[in-house]
Structure 1
Amino acid sequence: MTHRPRHLLMGACAFAAVLMTAACGGTTIDDAQDSGGSGPTGTADPNAEIPEGLKIDFLPKQLNNPFFDIVNTGGTEAVEELGGTATERGGTEATADSQVEYINAASQAGSDVIVIAANDPDAVCPALNEARDNGAAIVGYDSNANCTDVFVNQSSTELVGRTLVEMIAEDLGGEGTFAVLSATPNATNQNAWIEAMEEVLAEDEYADLEMVDVVYGNDDDLQSFQEMQGLIQAHPDLDGVVSPTTVGLAAAARYISDSEYKGDFAVTGLGTPNQMSEFVHDGTVDQFALWNPLDLGYLAGYTGAALKAGQITGAAGETFTAGRLGEFTFETDGEIVLGPPQVFNADNVDDFDF
């Protein structure tokens, strides 16, 4: 259902009562390898065998994050198919300092591959470079660092940014104001998507849609909930929010679902179906998007193994097979793309289980 901007609804209340129904709401990713990553080196041998017993470590932005729990389940699936051992390492806070500690632990444990969703594009690099010197291949996923060998991108930056703008535009009927509830201020993927959104918003089609603020919940549920509350207080005429992080989107939806703004306020962004289904069915959220996080981790696991085995270097034009996902091609140096985002709504949200 199309949202009318909340300030218009409030104005209409002076003349008639508003019917309250159930209707509502982890670089620049594409440029990471160009800004300091090690990039493709050597010559690939697509026929090289992946050795059994590879030790592959997954370092999410933080542990106990529902999104990364699913991503790393997919990564473990891939590593076990290849006869290796998968280890998940990390802290409960989404900080670069925490990740450095676990990068060092993985390196000291003799990791063959470190797969990381970086909380900062640069702060983790000294530790990652040292791990590479110790023999580890370095793969970025979800949110890249400027020193990875290759990056597994869940989707292109432009596609994610455009999808987010299209959803909030549809929810608001093409006009109104919205804010962004992001993860951490230095999250490379979040910042890239927000920049892409700004570029799309500059198009004539979105002249009546305005992004008025960006706040950060640091991928913490309570802090994200409080930031959502703060946005409403800071912008009384705000019509919607876009949260390009699963933790932030769920927190924003929970706040709006229990508030007087439910039905008049658009909530959209990136989330998992299991996490967001209740808010779709209760009318808080019309639509949201995401790629399949299980497949993201799975692809990252296979990419890391292929890189370590020498099947790929990450050079543009190289191809490799990632198990059940089939063949992938590096369209640009150092980056492989999983695919476009999937949009979820009341018609399909229950068809997915992740």
Structure 2
Amino acid sequence: MKKSRKTRGMALTAFALAGLLAGGMMVQGAESSEGGGKYAFISKSMDNPYNFAMAEGFQEVIEGAGGECVVNHPLNAYADDQITLIDSLISQDVDAIAIAANDETRLTEALTEAREAGIQVITVDSDTDHSVRSTFCNQASTELIAQTMMDAVYDITGGEGQYAILSTTLYATNQNAWLEAMETLAASDEKYVNLELIDIAYGEDQADASAEKTKDLLEEHPDLKAICALTSAGITAAAKTLSEEETEVKITGLGMPSELAEYIGEDGPCPKAYLWNPIDLGRLAAYTSMALVSGEITGAAGESVEADTLEGSPYAITELPEDSSATEIVLGSMDCFDAGNIDEWKDVF
């Protein structure tokens, strides 16, 4: 386990409740008397503990360095909600914005205006138009996530049968990239020849919608064997639904162990799940934002980010595999949560 992990208890819940609802958004601000810059974090949506975990890591680092932190959680996982927040942050004269983009292209105009106002912009967790941000803090490579998800589906189905994918929205940059990579892998690797992707459902990154989509999948596909959820909010809702429906359909995917603990295990609806540490991802975004504001980096390939509380430090800034004109910083590996280790992991995040 990485040294930056810590026992969590109810910390994420407390962090979420500390926010104030303002104009349909959850907004949390914390100011340090020491100064040190004003840094903003915009998550994908409010209805997801994963986003609170990222925000917690971001805020911890910013405040620890004597800066002011503004955390924003849109009510829904849509670009329009994020555009409203970006416009507000421009008027607040923040020094930097770290955003988990809900759309690859629709944020372009707002983020361009932010940069023209002298604000440093990075993306984290989910990327946007490469021309409007300095770099992207990526949780793990697209190829690693796709391979891990396909192997998980293979394992829980015995390598054959129908499976479905539960994603967030039609426009989610990261989920769409993972989905495309999974489809490419399934079509090119004979290992998966007996697996059939029967449907793709979109749960809007919300628990209720994800639960309804799970019920729809069960009703529409009687031979369904497994669901792969590319959403931490969706996987928990889907696992709960599978448990209540008393079906033999299993689920795997990306999820937080603290949320999934009661459903994990060979006899449960979710034999195993995977994730990186979202708190560390938020921390990495904070260190990157501060380095840009201070002028230590520009976001160019070949530079590196010092992240004192993360054991992978320094983190190299590298060219994107698909676009050599843009860069990313990859947090690292993924962890697997199963019956053998869930009791340990559920108190981490």
Normalising by structure 2, report the TM-score: 0.84
Q: Tell me by how many angstroms 1:52 deviates.
A: 4.9
Q: Tell me by how many angstroms 1:314 deviates.
A: 1.8
Comparing 279-288 and 337-346, the one that deviates more:
279-288
Q: Which residue of 2 aligns with 1:327?
A: 314
Q: Give the conservation status (yes or no) of the 8 Å contact 2:272–2:336.
A: yes
Q: Does 1:217 align with 2:203?
A: yes
Distance (whole Å) between structure 2 residues aligned to residue 172 and residue 64 of structure 1: 30
SS at match of 1:334: strand
Q: Give the conservation status (yes or no) of the 8 Å contact 2:35–2:68.
A: no
Computed over aligned residues only, the root mean square deviation of the Cα atoms, in angstroms, reads: 1.3
Q: Which residue of 2 aligns with 1:152?
A: 137
Question: Over residues 187-236 of structure 1, what are the superposed CA-to-partner deviations in whole Å (9 max), with x where a residue is unaligned?
Answer: 00000000111122120111111211111010111111000111111111
Q: Which structure features the higher share of strand residues?
A: 2
Q: Which residue of 2 aligns with 1:251?
A: 237
Q: Tell me by how many angstroms 1:331 deviates.
A: 2.5
Question: Over residues 21-76 of structure 1, what are the superposed CA-to-partner deviations in whole Å (9 max), with x where a residue is unaligned?
Answer: xxxxxxxxxxxxxxxxxxxxxxxxxxxxxx95211111001124210001100000
Matches within 5 A, 1:141-290: 141-146=124-129, 147-202=132-187, 203-261=189-247, 264-281=248-265, 283-290=268-275
Q: Give the conservation status (yes or no) of the 8 Å contact 2:121–2:133.
A: yes
Q: Does 1:112 align with 2:95?
A: yes
Q: Does 1:342 align with 2:328?
A: no
Bigger relative contact order, structure 1 or 2, given CA contacts below 8 A and separation 6+?
A: 1
Q: Give the conservation status (yes or no) of the 8 Å contact 1:168–1:266.
A: no
Q: Does 1:88 align with 2:85?
A: no
Identical-pair percentage: 40
Which structure would you say has the larger Rg? 1
Q: Which residue of 2 aligns with 1:10?
A: none
Question: Over residues 252-304 of structure 1, what are the superposed CA-to-partner deviations in whole Å (9 max), with x where a residue is unaligned?
Answer: 1011011131xx21200100010000001561111000000000000000011
Amino acid in structure 2 at the alignment position of 1:294: I
Q: Give the conservation status (yes or no) of the 8 Å contact 2:287–2:305.
A: no
Comparing 313-322 and 210-219, the one that deviates more:
313-322
Distance (whole Å) between structure 2 residues aligned to residue 211 and residue 314 of structure 1: 38
Amino acid in structure 2 at the alignment position of 1:58: F
Q: Give the conservation status (yes or no) of the 8 Å contact 2:138–2:330.
A: yes
Unpaired stretches in structure 1, ≥5 consecutive residues: 1-50
Q: Give the conservation status (yes or no) of the 8 Å contact 2:242–2:250.
A: no
SS at match of 1:181: strand
Amino acid in structure 1 at the alignment position of 2:236: A
SS at match of 1:140: strand
Distance (whole Å) between structure 2 residues aligned to residue 143 and residue 295 of structure 1: 15
Q: Tell me by how many angstroms 1:108 deviates.
A: 0.6
Distance (whole Å) between structure 1 residues aligned to residue 227 and residue 47 of structure 2: 24
Which residue, out of 271, 279, 298, partners 1:313? 298
Q: Does 1:135 align with 2:118?
A: yes
Q: Which residue of 1 aligns with 2:21?
A: none
Q: Tell me by how many angstroms 1:84 deviates.
A: 0.7
Distance (whole Å) between structure 1 residues aligned to residue 128 and residue 338 of structure 2: 33
Unpaired stretches in structure 2, ≥5 consecutive residues: 1-33, 320-325
Q: Give the conservation status (yes or no) of the 8 Å contact 1:62–1:90.
A: yes
The ranges of structure 1 where at least 4 consecutive aligned residues each deviate by more than 4 angstroms after the TM superposition are: none
Q: Give the conservation status (yes or no) of the 8 Å contact 1:115–1:304.
A: yes
SS at match of 2:40: strand
Q: Tell me by how many angstroms 1:140 deviates.
A: 0.3
Amino acid in structure 1 at the alignment position of 2:307: A
Q: Which residue of 1 aligns with 2:344?
A: 351
